[in-house]
Amino acid sequence: MKFFADTSDLDELKDLADLGLLDGVTTNPSIIAKSGKEFIPLIKEICDIAGGTPVSAEVAATDYETMRKEADVLRAIADNIAVKVPLTEAGIRTCKELSDEGTMVNVTLCFSPGQALLAAKAGAAFISPFVGRLDDISFQGLELIADIVTIYDNYPQYDTEVLVASVRNPMHIIESAKMGAQVMTAPPKVIKQLFNHPLTDKGLAAFVEDWAKTGQSIL
């Protein structure tokens, strides 16, 4: 499974890259707004840190004509830009045209298998189903991931990768990986929660204590 970071924090991205845990980056208007930085320069910096891996930059428009113009600006930032569009008629039309021209497209705000099928038919590189937001309204978000993976597996002509979004906890990651989702995106703090296990902490403490008793030093 590829790990994308859902953040615009440059220090967090550099840290994940140093750990070998950065396979791409996703952003959205809300994330950019929280950063307080200028959009285009920030995306350029993120693309540099990402080292050629996909960086999703989202259009702000909702109508096709403006969306297409914004998409042209975004994909000119760097070769590793994935233009992010909403799962609307305008978004799917833009996705189809950009995909035909060789541009990666991430179709976002997916909440049903039918929507995911539309994105695949339009040539999307990634479909972003939102697990956590479905959980928030008492739907089983992970069931959506299972349905999309099953549908895509039935039709190998589709190259669209399932990018699990709105990830709130490590189990969202683990269960999605078991289902075969190719990508997930999460805040860095959620990714790092995968390190946590009480037996690891207990075992390491015992090793440190026993080594101290030997009075030795490796250095």
Question: Which of 40, 45, 35 lies closest to 60, judged by CA?
Answer: 40
Give Cβ neighbours of residue 69 (< 8 Å, ≥ 6 apart): 61
The one-letter code for the residue type at 213 is K
Instruction: Phi first, then psi: give them for residue 58, nearest 5 degrees.
Output: -100, 140
Q: Which two tokens stand for residue 56?
A: 């999703």
Which of the residues are catalytic?
A: 84
The answer to whether 148 and 113 have CB atoms below 8 angstroms apart is yes
The one-letter code for the residue type at 90 is A
How many Cβ atoms sit within 10 Å of the Cβ of residue 4? 30
